[in-house]
Amino acid sequence: MTPLPAQASRAYAILIKRLTPAGRKWLPQMSLGMRTGAVEIPALPTVANGSCTEALGACTHADIDALCFLILMAAAQDSADDLRDMLADMNAANEKKARLRAPHDRIDKVALDAEVAAIKNQLDSKSEIGETESLRLQMAMDRMSKMMSTLSNILKKISDTAQSITQNLK
């Protein structure tokens, strides 16, 4: 899993301090909405007209990039945490499968046949769960990749804007 860029983490730490307490409560809701599609992120013209003032304090046009960055960064961090949790769950399931496949010491034929049948049933059910978990993991990885790409584009835009301002000042 690709770690979040150090520059992005530093910028996030600086920008998060600018949020009001209401903004700190608002950001996780927007992050969750970004990851699940359950919450709609405010349209940029609405944000630009100042409706984000309650959550973010003074909100200017220049802050829209920072606002998008904060939401995407929070979503990326949450997605990374989700991927870690999913990976831990899959590892636990794989360990359980390995224990089920391990040989047992009993030699009794009837008991051994019954145990083999029970283990096969358990493995079959675990395989179905494993396929579902693999699909969920792949979807989460795809979403994480798209968020990282968008986050990188926003960072580049912020950097280009800062460079343009510096050139204009010269």
**Residue 78 pLDDT greater than 60, yes or no:** yes
Half-sphere exposure of 146 toward its Cβ, with a 13 Å CA cutoff?
A: 8
**Residue 59 pLDDT greater than 70, yes or no:** no
d(CA 147, CA 26): 19
What DSSP assignment string belongs to 136-166?
HHHHHHHHHHHHHHHHHHHHHHHHHHHHHHH
Burial (0-12, 13-18, 19+ Cβ within 10 Å), 65? middle
Average pLDDT, the chain: 75
The pTM (predicted TM-score) of the whole model is 0.54
d(CA 8, CA 14): 10
**Residue 47 pLDDT greater than 50, yes or no:** no
**Residue 54 pLDDT greater than 80, yes or no:** no
Task: pLDDT band for 44, please (50, 70, 90 cuts).
Answer: very low
Are 109 and 55 in contact, with CB atoms under 8 Å apart? Answer: no
Q: Residues 88-147: pLDDT tens digits?
A: 888 888 888 888 777 655 566 777 678 778 887 777 776 666 777 788 888 888 888 888
Whose CA is closest to 161, among 66, 93, 90, 71? 66
Q: What is residue 56's predicted lDDT score, i.e. its pLDDT?
A: 56
Residue 7, both tokens: 């520059």
Task: pLDDT band for 32, please (50, 70, 90 cuts).
Answer: confident
